[in-house]
Amino acid sequence: MKQTKKEFIKELLAKLTLREKIGQMTQLNGRYFCETEAELTGPFEKLGISAKDLAMIGSVLYLSSAEEAIAVQSKHLEDDPNHIPMLIMMDVIHGYRTIFPIPLAMGASFDPDLMEQCSQMAAKEASASGVHVTFTPMVDYVRDARWGRVMETMGEDTLLNSRMGAAQVKGFQGDGYGRPGSLATCVKHFAAYGGAEAGRDYNMVEISERLLREYYLPAYKACLDAGAPMLMPSFNSMNGVPSTANSFLMNQVLRGEWGFDGVVISDYWAIKELISQGVAKDNREAALKAMKCGCDVEMASTYYLNELEKLVRDGVVSEAEIDRSVERILSLKWDCGLFEDPYQGASSEKEVECQLTKENRAIAETAAEKCAVLLKNDGVLPFSKQVKKIALIGPFAESRSIIGNWRANGKDEEAVSVADGVRNLLPGAEIAVVQGCSAELDQFDEGEFPAAIDAAKNADVVILCVGEQQDYSGEGKSRVDLKLPGVQEKLCEAVCAVNPNTAVLLFNGRPLVLTGLHKCAPAILEMWFPGTEGGNAAAKLLFGDANPCGVIPMSFPKSVGQCPIYYNHPSTGRPKKAGDDDVFQPFHSNYIDCGNLPLYPFGYGLSYSSFRYESMELDTHELTKDGQIKVTVKIANQSDRDGEKAVQLYFHDPVASSVRPVQSLLDFKKVLIPAGKTAKVEFTITEPQLRYYDADCSYHSDPGDFDLFVGYADHPELKDSFRLLD
């Protein structure tokens, strides 16, 4: 009779020595398994381990191919006396070999189904190369564009973050992560990593428990509820305690309130960093604090391997505590199917069959099209496909470095540039390409300006390709100046002045300050970092073969001085009166030199279609605690072009026991509306959607009146109200 998982793990655990158990709790970089012992003498000494210790290591990260994964796993199974397979993990963030748009861009799609499809594609590609676990979704709630890792989030709204993160879990894991073509997911970074002070990576977070529970925690919980079996604590300290050693987060909330019994893995060197953060005096105390907060696996450093045995011998840590962590790790390995097939079908042949295929490129192209946001259009776009002369100007005109940071095994050289895309779409057009200037932060050479201006003067249409380099956003890439790097804005002003048929294409991993560009450019199309097929998608959008339908997932400030800026800000006692946002109003909550509102707000995005909200009807205006209200919104496409629309429903609680946001996203749906047709979109409102955490962290709703509107942040199209009954 076949053993059950529980029986198998109990029997295996009984065979393991204490050191072998601790080995299961250790993860090392793939280099330690791919280089020779002679090459690793120095690194081994630094870590305090020997080549013999590798035989008991439980997991590895960053192997680059099926061949490497199979070789490392085979060698490990030969050397490990218990023949326990290693888990192979990797940051598969927005694609593996075929790269789809960065997560912030995917947030702009407002399309969880699209996110699920892209994640499923990435899982198949990564699984073929031997990966078992991906360190995603990252659902860190964020309000400050200075932080480089905004590119990995889905933006500034909790509901959007939750739904898109859950869609990633579903896409990567499919019907079960214990089969080829799927990956287990690891939710990160728990918690409030996106709240780093001043947007500086790894910086402290000071946050009230009320704010934490209402805005930052829900997306992590949504991903765990969707079935994610792993979680990673964040680097930052929160209210003075680093997350890896934060008992409130890890023991009270995660293990206690949420009942999570999956695997917790530290971030890279995070246990080691407890010393530099000043909460552990030495290696022993760092290992002890992380262990006592339920961290099952140590990533990259070896404090567990070097300290836990002594802590058990000294009676500070019980072997039962070690066993609980190892049981979770072995359970994950069982669920990943590794005890039946340690390779999970990985092979070099399968890599060729399923990676960077025509079908995968098509998915990536569709995603890039649906994530693009049309920020401005003075009637310039779409360009006619009959144009004869096209000027492609800017540092990203021919660049293939537009796939974004955290690109796994994606290669820039395999990406489609804007120039490639335009040539593919319009092979008969005469195309002049001029770089014009650099996109580097410290480069201000205007030597190519004359050539760029001449090309613009002689062209029927101009495509200006500007932005920030893909390695300027991501981990450790915080910025204090969010303007276009170098002299790119000056180049745009010069080119737009000589040719009014100019459209700007933006490539960036965060909201930028585009106030000057907005004034001079006739059209602006935000492409983010669109992935492998970015150039083809850009060309189809510019020339009308695709219709922009993305919307802003994170506010674009008018000035960096507005940061952090977010749509769901709380009411103040002296709110600025309605009117011209740039006019200063004395003794009101505003700036004397800038408006309060962002340049481009959350939920904003233009289209080549023309949409009009016709009506919003509620089937009742009274909501009981166990009842519901059905909201029916009719929206017409008054153009001759099919288009997709992100229909957004917002609410406001005018009177509550704690100050509430001026607006909150209640629900959203992405709908395709054929030309000349009217769509009917239905939403359901229930009492739990109106709950919030008050000053005492009590979670409840307040009876009374609620305002309701459809549109986008700060721009209601239709309004109504309803009453929640006591």
Which structural domain, as residue segments, surrounds residue 291? 21-90+233-343
- The average pLDDT across 132-156 equals 98
The span from the CA of 64 to the CA of 122, in Å, is 15
Given a contact cutoff of 8 angstroms between Cβ atoms, the answer to whether 366 and 48 are in contact is no
Task: Tell me which residue has tokens 């380099």.
Answer: 469
Least Cα distance to 279 among 191, 204, 216 occurs for: 204
Does the pLDDT at position 334 exceed 80?
Answer: yes
The total of structural domains in the chain comes to 2
CATH of the domain at 713: 2.60.40.10
Q: What tens digit of pLDDT does each residue of 697-710 get?
A: 999 999 999 999 99
pLDDT band per the 50, 70, 90 thresholds, residue 38: low
Q: Which two tokens stand for residue 33?
A: 């398994």
Residue 299 is assigned to a structural domain of this protein: yes
Q: In what order do the strands lie in the sheet with 133-134?
A: 263-264, 230-233, 184-190, 133-134, 87-90, 59-61, 26-29, 298-299
Given a contact cutoff of 8 angstroms between Cβ atoms, the answer to whether 180 and 345 are in contact is yes
Q: What tens digit of pLDDT does each residue of 285-329 get?
A: 999 999 999 999 999 999 999 999 999 999 999 999 999 999 999
pLDDT band per the 50, 70, 90 thresholds, residue 201: very high
Given a contact cutoff of 8 angstroms between Cβ atoms, the answer to whether 722 and 671 are in contact is no
The span from the CA of 285 to the CA of 242, in Å, is 14
Q: What tens digit of pLDDT does each residue of 357-376 get?
A: 999 999 999 999 999 999 99
DSSP string covering 352-400, please?
HHHSS-HHHHHHHHHHHHHH-EEEEESS-PSPPTT-SEEEEESTTSS--
Question: Residue 478: its pLDDT value, please?
Answer: 98
Q: Looking at 51-60, 124-133, 459-468, 717-726, which range is the least confident one?
A: 51-60
Is position 267 annotated as part of the catalytic site? yes
Q: Looking at 23-37, 334-348, 512-526, 591-605, which range is the least confident one?
A: 23-37
- The average pLDDT across 574-584 equals 91
pLDDT-above-70 percentage for the chain: 100
Residue 152 is assigned to a structural domain of this protein: no
- The average pLDDT across 669-692 equals 98
- The average pLDDT across 643-660 equals 97
| Residue 176 falls in which region: left (phi positive, over 0), alpha (psi -120 to 50) or beta | left
Element (H, E) at 716: strand 715-724
Residue 69 CB contacts under 8 Å (≥ 6 apart), including other chains: 63, 88, 129, 130, 131, 343, 346
Q: Which two tokens stand for residue 552?
A: 């802003």
pLDDT-above-90 percentage for the chain: 95
Does the pLDDT at position 349 exceed 90?
Answer: yes
What is the separation, in whole angstroms, between the first and last Cα of the chain?
A: 57
Mark out the alpha helices in 261-377 (DSSP H runs).
273-276, 283-292, 303-313, 319-335, 348-354, 358-371
Q: What tens digit of pLDDT does each residue of 426-466 get?
A: 999 999 999 999 999 999 999 999 999 999 999 999 999 99
pTM as predicted: 0.97
Question: Residue 319: its pLDDT value, please?
Answer: 97
Residue 434 is assigned to a structural domain of this protein: no
Residue 217 is assigned to a structural domain of this protein: no
CB atoms within 10 A of CB 705: 13
Task: Tell me which residue has tokens 């309060």.
Answer: 596
What is the C-alpha R_g of the chain? 27
Question: Residue 1: its pLDDT value, please?
Answer: 62
| Burial of residue 96, with CB atoms counted within 10 A of its CB: 0-12 exposed, 13-18 middle, 19 or more buried | buried
DSSP 8-state class, residue 423: H
Q: Which of 267, 296, 420, 653 is catalytic?
A: 267
Residue 439 is assigned to a structural domain of this protein: no
Q: Positive or negative, the Cα torsion across 607, 613, 619, 620?
A: positive
Does the pLDDT at position 50 exceed 90?
Answer: no
> Which one of 343, 361, 378 terminates a domain?
343
- The average pLDDT across 389-404 equals 98
The span from the CA of 116 to the CA of 319, in Å, is 41
> Which one of 288, 311, 343 terminates a domain?
343
Q: What tens digit of pLDDT does each residue of 655-672 get?
A: 999 999 999 999 999 999
Question: Residue 575: its pLDDT value, please?
Answer: 94
Given a contact cutoff of 8 angstroms between Cβ atoms, the answer to whether 339 and 8 are in contact is yes
Question: Residue 45: its pLDDT value, please?
Answer: 80
Residue 550 is assigned to a structural domain of this protein: no
Residue 136 CB contacts under 8 Å (≥ 6 apart), including other chains: 91, 92, 93, 168, 172, 185, 186, 188
Q: Positive or negative, the Cα torsion across 439, 440, 442, 444?
A: negative
Residue 10 CB contacts under 8 Å (≥ 6 apart), including other chains: none
Question: Residue 42: its pLDDT value, please?
Answer: 80
The span from the CA of 297 to the CA of 350, in Å, is 30
- The average pLDDT across 245-271 equals 98
Does the pLDDT at position 36 exceed 80?
Answer: no
Question: Residue 440: its pLDDT value, please?
Answer: 96
Question: Residue 49: its pLDDT value, please?
Answer: 85
Given a contact cutoff of 8 angstroms between Cβ atoms, the answer to whether 543 and 385 are in contact is yes
> Which one of 298, 320, 343 terminates a domain?
343
Q: What tens digit of pLDDT does each residue of 474-529 get?
A: 999 999 999 999 999 999 999 999 999 999 999 999 999 999 999 999 999 999 99
Does the pLDDT at position 40 exceed 80?
Answer: no
Q: Which two tokens stand for residue 16?
A: 């393991």
Residue 671 is assigned to a structural domain of this protein: yes
Does the pLDDT at position 53 exceed 70?
Answer: yes
Question: Residue 39: its pLDDT value, please?
Answer: 72
Beta-strand pair 664-673/699-700? unpaired
Residue 151 is assigned to a structural domain of this protein: no
CATH of the domain at 28: 3.20.20.300
